[in-house]
Structure 1
Amino acid sequence: MTMTLQFLGAAEEVTGSCHLLTLNDKQVLLDCGLIQGSKADAMRNYQAFSFDPSQIDAVILSHAHIDHSGRIPQLVKSGFTGPIYTHKASAELCAIMLKDAAMLQQRDTERLNKKRLKKGLEPLQALFDEQDVEQTVQQFIPLNYGESVQVLPQLSLQLSDAGHILGSAIVELWINEIGTRKKIVFSGDLGREGMPILDDPEIIHEADLVLMESTYGNRLHRSWQQTIDELEQIFAAAISGSQGNILLPAFSVGRAQELLYLFHLYAKQWDLSRWRICLDSPMAIEATKVYINNYPVMDDDFKRFTQQHPGEHPLLSGVEFIQSTEQSMELNEINQGLIIIAGSGMCNGGRIRCHLEHNLWRPECDVIICGYQAISTPGRMLVDGADYLTIRGKPVKVAAKLHTVGGLSAHADQAELIHWYQQFKHSPPLVLVHGEQQVQQDLLAAIKASLSQPAAMLAAKQGDKLNLSALPELVWL
């Protein structure tokens, strides 16, 4: 039996998750994500897939974030007609997020083609449209955690809670050969222990191969209590000045809901009654509704509060939902007293760009960066100390107080990644994905130093193909 696994995305980078599993004449994709980052990175999405989409038998999706799900409609448009297995909450979130992505694709492609035509270049087609998304949604097979399903005669699947965002999953795969059985565990994006709303990532003990994300593989997050104290200090300082606004660029799924919950929990402690809290993101608003409807898969504290206070939902108290563009623009006429949560989380699109244009140059304002910032994104430029940010083609001075709150990350840090891997028996072969090159090398060194016995491990490179028949050895084809 021919068994290979090829790494086609999120290899030495944190974007575009995509891995191709081949079992004889059958092919299954683990994730099919959009490549995000710089304009040059985004252009890579227009390249043809390195495989024939019509020959893919199934897709297994770890979670709804666009860097894991965003090219599935493009896959469908290109001929993929098979099932898409994912958690039921991820399927609900994808219906929202992929529709939004389609609208952005249309808009961005129109803008890009105006520039291309001026240069005498051929126009590009949008990667996909809303009709492609509608077809994609019909192909979803929603699953519950712990539910076993037969993907192929020789391949079975089970999802376990990854604790990253609602519906995020650790993918457990069993491959049945003649007389043997191999198990592959793909971490997806791993969350953290003790974070609000979600349960902790599940511990898995058995595997013949582990694919593990490594986003924060070379750093340690602040503790949860230190993070709460840090936020309290930021709000206290802002209140004492009381002359500006606070902007929080946030991912519409996961981070936005986490912030709403924190504002509910600490409203009195942080003296938030003085502030007008606005969630300025139609997609985040829709995603929040999905969170509310799926409270049974949340952690015990969140479930308990939801059940005991039916008229006071923790994601709805004390916040204004800003839906229309006109309402969003009106916020920019207000110079102080606003806390604005808006996408995109890396400041490379969405309504946060407009709010930064009106507030970033004001030293009395605050910007709280509370999520991963990919290389070359405006958010990364802010974190790296840029003096100016280009918005709508014009430079905007960075004078607002900038705070990077790493403790809010939904990704496990180095210690948490090592701990999760150490729970596997017999130190199975490990391949790192979804991490920047140097970060992965630092994590590999730290893992090796933590083990009492040697283990085969490395970071996957773009296009690498692993011979699964050779396990436990890592043999590349």
Structure 2
Amino acid sequence: MKITFCGASKMVTGSCYYIETDRRKFLVDCGMFQGKMSELNFEPFPFEPADLDFVIITHSHIDHIGRLPLLFKKGFNGSIFVTSATADLMEIMLKDSAHIQELESKWQNKKRQRKGLVPVKPLYTVEDTLRIPEYIIKCSYGKWIEIDENICIMFKDAGHLLGSSIVIIKIREKNDEVLITFSGDLGNNNMPIIRDYEYVNYSDYLIIESTYGDRLHGNKTEEIKKLYDIIINTVKKGGNVIIPAFSVGRAQEILYLLNYYIDIEKRKELSNIEIYLDSPLAKEALEIYEKHKECYDEEAINLLGKDFDLLRFNNLYTISSAEESIALNDKNGVVIISSSGMCEAGRIKHHLKHNIWKDATSIVFVGYQAEGTLGRKILDNAKKVKIFGEEMVVKAKIYNLPGLSGHADIEGLINWVKNIKNGVSRRIFIVHGEEKASENFKKEIGKLMNTGVHIPELFEKVEL
């Protein structure tokens, strides 16, 4: 049995793991590369897509599903195993991804035409995404799904996003039964709406993320108070608050925090401020969140029992059309939540273009910013950034609230590993983290157990 690390190795993007047994070939995740690694999206897969039997998806973020349509274009026609909520989110996420790529290639080709260059094609189109739902097999948490007589899989809640999963794979090969666990992206505990991550009892091999493997998030309640204070103080000065947020997951959680908060006085102040959710995708995701209440935590269920509308409130305005989005350019003293979360594409780039050069603006980051992305450059205190080819001075106040991240910090990661009741017997692989974070996490795991720990290189193949 072999595993090839086809993405998310010493980086936080492009999750994709290729597993070969004596009878089957399959993937866990098939994500898109973002930021400085985005050129890898156009490279051939390091396996033959037509030879794959099936794909297992941990959750619906684009860095975990973004190259699925390309996989089908290149010949794959097997089943895709996902949770029910992930299946619904995947459908809208992939269409949105394709739409953005079509627009980006159209914009690029206008420039290329003027230079006499050959036009480029998008990685895939909206039409390429339409056939995917017929291959999806929806699965429940906590039940073994038999793929064949030698392979079973189980999904457990990862607490990262609606429908997100830890995947346990049981493989029988040559009289040996092996358990392989993929952590997926582990959630930051006590986050809004969804349940905390579940634990596993035992695994022979563990492939675990390390996004925040070298950092603590800080006090979540204090971060929420800080978010409220930033909004209230910025708006008082006539400035706009721009919040880049992933359309699926972070956007809904931020709405929950803005809608339900224990400080009544601050909530009253906030209720007079116009809040705009400018993302058609986030608007669609709202409906899916409301549909999948089986993923909600106890607090959210209790609030629903009191007829409390978790994600909608009187001063929230959801924006759909491009015209409505453009009209926000003339607004002052408002909050704009828009995607993409790393500021690489979509409407957030337009809002940054119209606000980043203003002293009164506040830009609030509430999620991870990968190396090479526009979001990371802004967060790293760049004095100037390029947006749509135009160099812009950064005068806005920049805030980072990692406590509102959907990823577990080092304490949360260690807590999850410590609670593997019977340990990991053979080997641990650390993925989905920049090198410094992965190395620190490796050191911390070494203090807990004697199991061998390895940080794989991109495209490294390992015999299990």
Q: TM-score range by the shorter chain?
A: over 0.9
CA offsets, 1:194-229, max 9 Å, x none? 111110100112100110000010000112222123
Matches of 2:363 and 2:203, distance apart in 1: 43
Root mean square deviation, CA, Å: 1.6
Corresponding residue SS for 2:416:
helix
Q: Match for 2:242: what amino acid?
A: L
Instruction: Give the ranges of 4+ consecutive aligned residues of structure 1 lying more than 6 Å apart after TM superposition.
Output: none
* Unmatched segments (≥5 aa) in structure 1: 469-477
Task: Describe the shift of the 1:45–1:119 C-alpha distance in structure 2 as closer, same or farther (beyond 3 A).
Answer: farther
Task: Describe the shift of the 1:355–1:124 C-alpha distance in structure 2 as closer, same or farther (beyond 3 A).
Answer: closer
**Corresponding position of 2:11:** 13
Q: Does 1:139 align with 2:132?
A: no
Q: Does 1:457 align with 2:459?
A: no
More off after superposition, 182-191 vs 435-444: 435-444
Corresponding residue SS for 2:285:
helix
Length-normalised TM-score, structure 1: 0.93
Checking the alignment, whether the CA contact within 8 Å between 1:7 and 1:463 is kept in structure 2 is yes
Task: Describe the shift of the 1:268–1:330 C-alpha distance in structure 2 as closer, same or farther (beyond 3 A).
Answer: farther
Task: Describe the shift of the 1:106–1:235 C-alpha distance in structure 2 as closer, same or farther (beyond 3 A).
Answer: closer
Q: Does 1:234 align with 2:235?
A: no
Matches of 1:93 and 1:433, distance apart in 2: 24
Quote how far apart the aligned CAs of 1:121 are: 5.3
CA offsets, 1:335-391, max 9 Å, x none? 22x111000111111111111111111111211111100111111011100112212
Matches of 1:380 and 1:332, distance apart in 2: 23
Checking the alignment, whether the CA contact within 8 Å between 1:296 and 1:303 is kept in structure 2 is no
Corresponding residue SS for 1:189:
coil
Which of 310, 318, 325 is the equivalent residue of 1:328? Answer: 325
Q: Match for 1:436: what amino acid?
A: E
Matches of 1:463 and 1:120, distance apart in 2: 36
Q: Match for 1:17: what amino acid?
A: S
**Corresponding position of 1:173:** 169
Checking the alignment, whether the CA contact within 8 Å between 1:13 and 1:437 is kept in structure 2 is yes
Checking the alignment, whether the CA contact within 8 Å between 1:58 and 1:151 is kept in structure 2 is no
Checking the alignment, whether the CA contact within 8 Å between 2:231 and 2:335 is kept in structure 1 is no
CA offsets, 1:40-79, max 9 Å, x none? x222211111111110000000000000000001001111
Matches of 1:426 and 1:62, distance apart in 2: 22
Matches of 1:54 and 1:116, distance apart in 2: 33
CA offsets, 1:256-290, max 9 Å, x none? 00010001112844320221011000000001110
Quote how far apart the aligned CAs of 1:113 are: 3.8
Corresponding residue SS for 1:316:
coil
**Corresponding position of 2:306:** 308
Q: Does 1:72 align with 2:68?
A: yes
More off after superposition, 104-113 vs 14-23: 104-113
Checking the alignment, whether the CA contact within 8 Å between 2:100 and 2:345 is kept in structure 1 is no
Task: Describe the shift of the 1:269–1:28 C-alpha distance in structure 2 as closer, same or farther (beyond 3 A).
Answer: farther
Matches of 2:205 and 2:187, distance apart in 1: 20
More off after superposition, 59-68 vs 270-279: 270-279
Q: Determine what percentage of the aligned residue pairs are the same residue.
A: 38
**Corresponding position of 2:89:** 93
Which of 388, 391, 395 is the equivalent residue of 1:392? Answer: 388
Which of 240, 244, 267 is the equivalent residue of 1:245? Answer: 240
More off after superposition, 165-174 vs 178-187: 178-187
Task: Describe the shift of the 1:276–1:151 C-alpha distance in structure 2 as closer, same or farther (beyond 3 A).
Answer: same
Matches of 2:369 and 2:17, distance apart in 1: 23
Length-normalised TM-score, structure 2: 0.95
Which of 416, 428, 435 is the equivalent residue of 1:437? Answer: 435
Task: Describe the shift of the 1:448–1:111 C-alpha distance in structure 2 as closer, same or farther (beyond 3 A).
Answer: same
**Corresponding position of 2:366:** 370
CA offsets, 1:206-255, max 9 Å, x none? 1001100000100001122221232233234325x431111101000000
Matches of 1:456 and 1:397, distance apart in 2: 48
Checking the alignment, whether the CA contact within 8 Å between 1:245 and 1:339 is kept in structure 2 is yes
Checking the alignment, whether the CA contact within 8 Å between 1:155 and 1:176 is kept in structure 2 is yes
**Corresponding position of 1:474:** none
**Corresponding position of 1:471:** none
Which of 122, 127, 131 is the equivalent residue of 2:123? Answer: 127
Corresponding residue SS for 1:332:
helix
Q: Match for 1:14: what amino acid?
A: V
Number of residue pairs the alignment of both structures matches: 458
CA offsets, 1:156-186, max 9 Å, x none? 0010000000000000100113433110010
**Corresponding position of 1:472:** none
Q: Match for 2:193: what amino acid?
A: I
Matches of 1:194 and 1:356, distance apart in 2: 30
**Equivalent residue runs for 1:177-192 within 5 Å:** 177-192=173-188
More off after superposition, 403-412 vs 113-122: 113-122
* Unmatched segments (≥5 aa) in structure 2: none
Matches of 1:55 and 1:101, distance apart in 2: 25
Q: Match for 1:324: what amino acid?
A: S
**Equivalent residue runs for 1:23-172 within 5 Å:** 23-38=21-36, 41-116=37-112, 122-172=118-168
Quote how far apart the aligned CAs of 1:7 are: 0.5
